[in-house]
Amino acid sequence: MVGGNRLVGTVRVPGAKNSILKLMAASLLAEGSTTLTEVPDILDVTIMAELLRRLGCEVNQDVSGGTVRIDVPDKPGHQADYDLVRKMRASICVLGPLVARVGEADVALPGGDAIGSRGLDMHVNGLTRLGAEVTSEHGFLIAKAAQLHGAKIWLDFPSVGATENLLMAAVLAKGTTVIDNAAREPEIVDICQMLVAMGATIEGIGSSTLEIEGVEALQPVTHRTVPDRIVAGTWAVAAVMTQGDITIDQGDPGHLEIALDKLVGCGAMIEELPVGFRVSMDRRPKAVDIVTLPYPGFPTDLQPQFIALNAISEGAAMVTENLFEARFRFVHELGRLGADVHTDGHHALVRGRSRLSGAPVEATDVRAGAGLVLAGLVADGTTTVHEVHHIDRGYSGFVESLQALSADITRVDD
Domain locations in the chain as residue ranges: 8-14+227-404, 17-224
Task: Say if residue 114's pLDDT is above 50.
Answer: no
Are domains 8-14+227-404 and 17-224 of this chain identical in fold?
Answer: yes
Q: Quick one: fold of 17-224?
A: UDP-n-acetylglucosamine1-carboxyvinyl-transferase; Chain (3.65.10)
Task: Say if residue 339's pLDDT is above 70.
Answer: yes
Q: Model-level pTM greater than 0.75?
A: yes
Active site residues: 113
- Tell me the C-alpha distance between 288 and 266, whole Å: 7
Least confidently predicted of 33-42, 43-52, 209-218: 43-52
Task: Say if residue 113's pLDDT is above 50.
Answer: no
- pLDDT number for residue 267: 98
Please report which confidence band the pLDDT of residue 110 belongs to, taking 50, 70 and 90 as the band edges. Answer: low
In b/e form, how buried is each residue of 282-298, taking b as 16+ CB within 10 angstroms?
eeebebbebebebbeeb
DSSP 47: H
Q: In this prediction, what percent of the chain has a pLDDT beyond 90?
A: 86
- pLDDT number for residue 326: 73
Please report which confidence band the pLDDT of residue 414 belongs to, taking 50, 70 and 90 as the band edges. Answer: low
- The mean pLDDT of 366-391, rounded to a whole number, is 96
Task: Say if residue 140's pLDDT is above 90.
Answer: no
Task: Say if residue 115's pLDDT is above 50.
Answer: no
Options 3.40.50.150, 3.40.630.10, 3.65.10.10, 3.40.50.360; CATH for 8-14+227-404 is 3.65.10.10
Cβ neighbour number for residue 250 with a 10 Å cutoff: 17
**Nearest residue to 130 (alpha-carbon basis) of 173, 182, 179:** 173
